[in-house]
Structure 1
Amino acid sequence: MTHTTDECIFCDIVAGEHRASIVHEDETAVAFMDRYPVVRGHLLVVPRTHAVGFEDLDRDVGAHLWSVGHDLARTLRRSSVRCEGVNFLVCDGAAAFQTIFHFHLHVIPRYVDDGWSLTLPEPGERDRPLLDEDASAIRAAIG
Structure 2
Amino acid sequence: MKKVLIGMDYNPNSEKVARKGYELAKKLEAKVCLIHVLADVSYYGVNYPTFMGYEGYNEMQVDLNVISELREVAKDFIETAARHLDDPSVSTHMAEGPTSSAILDYAKEWGADLIVMGTHSHSVLEKVLMGTTASRVLEKTDIPVYMIPVKEK
Which TM-score applies when normalising by structure 1?
Answer: 0.30
Which TM-score applies when normalising by structure 2?
Answer: 0.29
Structure number with higher relative contact order (C-alpha < 8 Å, ≥ 6 residues apart):
2
